[in-house]
A and B are shown apart, each in its own frame.
Chain A
Amino acid sequence: MSLLTTLLRMRAAATGNALPTSRLRHLHLSDRPLMLLPLKQSGTADRPLAVMLGTDPARPELLLAPPMGSTTPMLTALASSVTAYIEEHQRRSEHLPATSTKPARQRFLDAPQLLVPNPYAVAYLNTLGRDLRLRPVDGGSVESCSVRRLGQWLTFFAGRAELPGTSALIPLTGFLAMHWVTGQSPLEDEDMATLLAWIDPPRHTVSGHQAALAAEDPATHRSAGPATDPAFDTDYLAPLFRAYRAGPREQARCLNDLRVLLAHYMQPTWERMWQAYTLLQALPEADGTRRRWKRERTEFTDITAYFVQDGRPQPARDNAVAAAIGLTRREHAAAAFDAERALDDPFTRAELRTTGEAFGGTVTSVDADHLAYGSSKRAQWRPRFTVSTTDPLRLEPGRILACHTHRDARYTIRAITPRDSDTLVDLEVTKGMGTPARPRHTVLPDTGAFLVCTLAPDHYHRMPQFPLPDQIPWTHAGPPHPLPERQRVKAAPHSPPPSPHHREDHAQRAIVEQLHTLTHPGLVVDAPPGAGKTTLVIHAAQTLAHCGAPCIVITQTNTQADDLVRRLARRHLPTARLIAAERTVPPDVLARPGVHVGHRIEDLKTAHVIVGTAMKWATVRDRRWPWAIIDEAYQMRSDALLRTGHLFDQALFVGDPGQLDPFSTIRTHRWAGLPHDPMNSAVTVLLAQNRDLPVHTLTTSWRLPPTAVPLIRDAFYPFTPFEAASHQTERTLTFTAMGRRTPVDKALETAARTGWALLELPARTTHRIDTEAFHTALETAAGLLHRQTTASCDNHPQGRILEPRDLAIGVAHRSQAHHINALLARHYPRLHGVTVDTANRLQGREFSVSIVLHPLSGRWDASAFHLEAGRLCVLASRHRHACIAITRAGIAPLLDAHPSNDPIHLGVTSKTPDGWEAHHAVLAHLAQHAIRA
């Protein structure tokens, strides 16, 4: 959804008529789809009431289940109709010659397509498929076999429907909503009757809005299923059901009445489904649609082969490997579908321009002969040009863009210069321009041309490798790897340490020393903010590497990996950096003595420690090391752990349990409640599968000042008690220059005195972009610099004047960060070097003073995203000296009125503390340090 769609929705509401959006169809429509309208008996798990189906609008087939007793005859009839339709598509196939990666094979020329009214019907077919495919086959009777096969087919179709961009099974309401926007809410759009009334009102109707109101009339409205209207149940079905139960004599008559009743009930929806089909078929197909349908034919060919060769029903729930593969497939499909639509469809590009993920503008200058000097120091021909745009940008230098006019070319952003009335974007052609000898000049636009650039699709061609089902690592409840006999190392003598410093050294040493004698396959170390995670990782790597065998370190991001390599190299450890071929290492890392960089593990033989991201490590096969250290393990998704679990015998997991959970671009509840849910964090899954794994806690924060620790601990870490390493007197902020008694100055002084300040702007519901609040944040940063603030701490007991790099401005949304950065560049040149970023990207970073735009500032509701405890925790725990929060007044009533109807998944432990409690705790504390602006 974009602001463009929002604008069109408001226009539709104002005019009373739906508006067209995308005019290109991205889903294939078969010439002969199987229209399927299922109804379920109310109150049951999946017992069918009736199914209307067919390929001819004029001749639907109505299959009826009796009110009670066996549904097998009805399901057998359904199976035979559906199977007959599927078999029509298994007759003709094409021969595909062998390629470099695939052998020669056959592919069916067409594939079956099921169209249902709405997403609820898809969910119902999925449930029905689950039931039928695992039903016992009584004595191998033909009926029970065909019913089971129907279950397998329904499971296949419902599984396809979960992948974005597929068209084996399509809910029509969602399909229509891709191409029209109505003047009602998306929730009401799920009702087929009103949605179509808006889009295609009957003739002689004043407006779509009037038609929709008429369609809602309870006297004539019929739900499109699979649930029937409760009033219909009570008034019409229930009497017939009762009569049916009364005795066998009545049953034939009842079934007949039921058939007439349901045919009448379903007919209007049946007609609407074909009406929707006609509307959608009139739209021209986008370029990518054919390609995606080819994929659909391949999938259909493959599943047919599977049913012939193996034919075992899909299991009730996915195992760890199947779940991880399923998640990756969904993410790839979604990314590919987004990217293809951006290249195919001008409406999608228009939407992306309003969200800042694309921009349009005029080419102002072209440097066709520009040469770039890469790491090889050899000049490369890299033409450049500049685009002037007025679109809001949510992109940064280094991002790679594509343009629909030259699909193979890639343009890398080299600089973004915000100006008063526009923004200049410098682009370098980094792919697709040919060679100086054989240039392709067309990829370079002319000066004055209008250009729209979108984010280039990532490298999503190939599925990564996953363990085979019999190779599931111990982290995911696979068999334990036999550990070698270890020599008992004499424990260091205990002596009571005098200061937190020594205590913590002792705690870290105790953990590190334990590693040698650890009989468990792994060890988890929970570390609150600033508790010396990295130091522990370095110590552990040093100790383990000294044992003679190299130790591998798995990080979550490339930045983390580079940072670790720097720090390991400082300790003179022979360190290697394993890195993906398309990435480059920062020059300072490359220049460090003793550091080797390689794309392949075979090239890194001499290192004691090898550092790389989980994504890169997952590509390493057939190697195993005695030890791995997994850094930021709470931010690692468990599917990444599954894919790296074959690399090590034992592992040390280090992470912060209070921060943001890993996320996925996909929303699904498919794996909820499973111990190996791939969307959970690595540690959650690890501990669920290995309940006796020891968990240690680091109990001292080196970063947080004593003013911050009690609040952060109580609000976010109820199970991880920790304290501050420093004394109150060690952490001071003092101002050299006088302030002007403005609210900002007062906030600075309060923060210097107490470690916290809440600068409260007048209450107002705002858009995400609240320029006034952004300026206040920037002025606060400017105030700190202007007043020449001196910060003293354990590292700088004499004090040090704060510079821009000591400050951070933390926000919730990327659009906010980009907007503040643009304001900073335009109006606050002295703040150059201040970090402005989202909570996600500030994780693991440390500053003297953090300025936080409160996630709930200006909100009209407290949504789950803005309420997330991890987000607030990251924002409120980046500082060594003070944290200044900026907000619109009115958060307390907002929290007060927050509804709590979050869905519940059985077997999933609820988060402690929840966002509401954490926000309340923080707000209560900040309220004591509030300054009204």
Chain B
Amino acid sequence: MKQILLITDGCSNVGESPVMAAAHALQEGITVNVVGVIDHGTIGELGSREIADIAKAGGGLSRIVGTPQLAQTIQMMTRKTVVQTIQQAVNKEVKKILGDGSLEELPPLQRSQVVNVVDELTETSPLRIALLIDASASMKPKLAAVEDAIRDLALSLEAREGKSEIAVFHFPGRTSSEDAELDMDWTSNVSGVRSLFSKLRMRGATPTGPAIFRVLEHYRYDTLDGHHGRLMTEDPDEREGMIGGYVV
């Protein structure tokens, strides 16, 4: 499973539409979640609509919270989307086998078996989350909370049985040609999440769309690289076979 978690506090203002970028991500099997983080004032109608639209296009969830709720919110979103992704895959199988309907329509015994499979896969499937952090000037006072939330997320992921990795990007990058900069490459090591953003120089522009594309490139590059093993959504036939085996 692959996810992008975008943490921002406002509207994009440079480059391609972030909604389109998120739609591209979904097309490539990557779910996009968005957290709008605000401490004072509001995020504005435009900003909150964009946040909702990006998540919708990316097949994920969106929330607008203050920094105290940040850690808990991204935990919940991540967990929920992982379950959703698994559930969608399992539901497809269930339909094939039992003919009708969603989980809610199954009789208790079958439902219990299906949920067992979902829980099992939720815990054991390999998972990758790319965190994409808005580092525009207004985000500066919130970055400490963001870093704490990332550490907390990494701690939860570390407890999973399946392989879990995170990577951290911030945008915009150091030069105007760089849409997003990689702060930490794929790791499953919580202790790596320390002073991520200490050397950041804040800049004004918010190229959310191009930054999402940059992360997609990173995902693609890594898939070509191939030494990280196959992730669940890369091969639909393989995946369906595996789940089918569980259900029957």
Pair from one complex: no
